[in-house]
Amino acid sequence: MRPDLVRFAHWLARDRAIAEDIVQEALLRAWRSREALKDPSAARAWLLTIVRREHARLYERKRLELVSLDEVMETQASPQPAEPEGNLFALRHAIMSLPIEYREPLLLQVVGGLSTEEIARELALSGTAVLTRLFRARNKLRVICGLTAAPDVAPDAAVAGRESTP
């Protein structure tokens, strides 16, 4: 499971070295509290949660250095070229701006690769609630990115609508 944990940590931290450190600390924590894992089939979700919390702990301990905005503006004589990852940065920013109840299941599914049932177990929700939150998270992302939100239609009504359309 280590490659999945590193991939998730790398997505969170955006730095490979920090991701490796986060995973190492998370695995040490998991080893120390391995008795707390009651269901071995939930190990993946449990470890991903530990990685996420370890990433949060990293920033609790970290004190950022303050820099004068005027000094930064003086050192940047010319504007920076557009980043090739501009769209990726915008998407990450949009995801992180989602309310936690929508962001968490989306990240667990997309980055963590968890199934709906695993997400439901991890977040103590029903499968239907997870699907609803995933749908709403994607709709909110569409709106943030300037796209039209998908209609909130029951699956049977959507199928019936397609059959009547030529």
Lowest-confidence segment of 8-22, 63-77, 101-115 by average pLDDT: 63-77
What is the CATH topology of the domain spanning 86-152? Arc Repressor Mutant, subunit A (1.10.10)
pLDDT at 50 over 50: yes
- C-alpha distances (whole Å) from 117 to each of 80, 85, 155 are 45, 33, 20
pLDDT greater at residue 108 or residue 75: 108
The pTM (predicted TM-score) of the whole model is: 0.45
Please state, in angstroms and rounded to a whole number, the distance separating the CA atoms of residues 120 and 126. Answer: 6
Q: What is the mean pLDDT of residues 25-54?
A: 90
pLDDT digits (tens, 9 = 90+) for 83-133: 555 677 888 888 888 898 999 999 888 888 888 998 998 889 999 999 999
C-beta of residue 52 within 8 angstroms of C-beta of residue 103? no
C-beta of residue 95 within 8 angstroms of C-beta of residue 141? yes
Q: What is the distance, to the nearest Å, from the Cα of residue 127 to the centroid of all Cα atoms in its chain?
A: 19
| CATH architecture assigned to 1-62 | Orthogonal Bundle (1.10)
**In the chain, where are the structural domains located?**
1-62, 86-152
Please state, in angstroms and rounded to a whole number, the distance separating the CA atoms of residues 97 and 106. Answer: 12
* Per-residue confidence band for 22, with pLDDT thresholds at 50, 70 and 90: very high
pLDDT at 163 over 60: no
Please state, in angstroms and rounded to a whole number, the distance separating the CA atoms of residues 153 and 146. Answer: 21
Q: What is the mean pLDDT of residues 6-12?
A: 91
pLDDT digits (tens, 9 = 90+) for 124-162: 999 999 999 999 999 988 888 877 777 775 544 444 444
